[in-house]
Structure formats: structure tokens, C-alpha cells
Amino acid sequence: MGYGDVKLLGALGAWLGPYAFLALFLGVFAGALVGLLLRQRKLPFGPYLALGGVVAFFFGETIWGAYLRLLGF
């Protein structure tokens, strides 16, 4: 993660609140999946972090509820 990614995550945290952790997780998951599929050594993290933020913004409550139901809470 570069300094731009940290600033982007800070902005997502200000905008999404506690769902910023979900955005970070989704961004890491999407970046890892694309990295494994493309077999590249270096990938920019910002687009995947932004994608995770968009998904968390629109579907965060649904994803979080499904995750808690999966855990049994």
C-alpha cells in the first residue's frame, strides 16, 4: 500500500464509517483474485480499494448481515 491508498482508505472511512473495514476486505479480496488470475507481480491497489468502497456503499449492510448470519449471530 502506498500513501495514496492510505489517503483513499481514510476518505472511505470518513464516508462509510464502520463499513470501511468491509471495503478494505473486499478490495484486498478482489485484488488478490485478479492478481492470481493474471499472474502479475505488481498491481495498483487503488482501483480495487475503490471497487470495494463502491460495493460496501451500496451493499454493505446486506453483506454484513449475511456474514453475521453465517457466524450465527
Is residue 34 within 8 Å of residue 19, measured between CB atoms?
no
pLDDT band for position 39 (50/70/90)?
confident
Q: What is the pLDDT of residue 1?
A: 76
pLDDT at 40 over 80: no
Report how many domains make up the chain. Answer: 1
**Domain that residue 45 falls in:** 3-71
Q: Confidence class of residue 56 from pLDDT cuts 50, 70 and 90?
A: very high
How many CB atoms are closer than 10 A to CB 52? 26
pLDDT at 42: 84
Torsion of CA 52, 54, 58, 61, to 10 degrees: 30
d(CA 25, CA 15): 16
Entry pTM: 0.87
